[in-house]
Amino acid sequence: MYATASFLKSAKFYLHFYPVILFALPGILTNIFNMIIAPNQKVTMSSVGRTALYVDGNYTYISEPGAYKLASLTVKDQATVNFQKPADRNSVNPVSIGTLELSYGGVVNTAIFHLVGNEVILHAGSTIQMSGGGDVAGQGKGAGNQVSVLCHLSSGWE
């Protein structure tokens, strides 16, 4: 069974949902660039969901299942985003998020997370929970590398 919902939007358009959202169907989130999860919301992203770009009557981009692509994902105070675990651990598609920002008490829960992005901003009290039991930090195919340091720490006392 598939459910379809369409919304006409303007430049300052917002959708307001119930406090608990489950994107569990193999559906497509179309023309969503900046996703903001409001305070105290709980959102579950399906391991088979997709994002797409639809321009002038044509899909110009459709992601692979579970490979969400967003310019930004902002998780506000005490909000939670759950990325469902894919059926096949070896077929994890990358989640492309230009800026992932978690406010105070914001949580991202996932078992396996292949994140491709420019910025990850974790405010005090926010958490990325990983339960996949993968490789030791800094090892394995997802070890990553540090490109540059953009951090200045100050105690406030000079």
From CA 136, how far away is CA 15, in angstroms rounded? 40
Q: Give pLDDT tens digits along the chain (158 positions).
A: 334 444 555 556 555 555 555 565 567 888 888 888 889 988 888 888 888 888 888 989 998 888 889 999 999 999 999 888 877 767 677 889 999 999 999 999 988 778 888 899 999 999 998 876 666 666 766 666 666 655 555 555 54
Q: Cα 126–108–65 angle (5° rounding)?
A: 160
Rg (CA), the chain: 17
* Residue ranges of domains in the chain: 20-130
Q: How many CB atoms are closer than 10 A to CB 111?
A: 18
From CA 29, how far away is CA 150, in angstroms rounded? 32
Q: 3-class DSSP state for residue 73?
A: strand
pTM above 0.75, yes or no: no
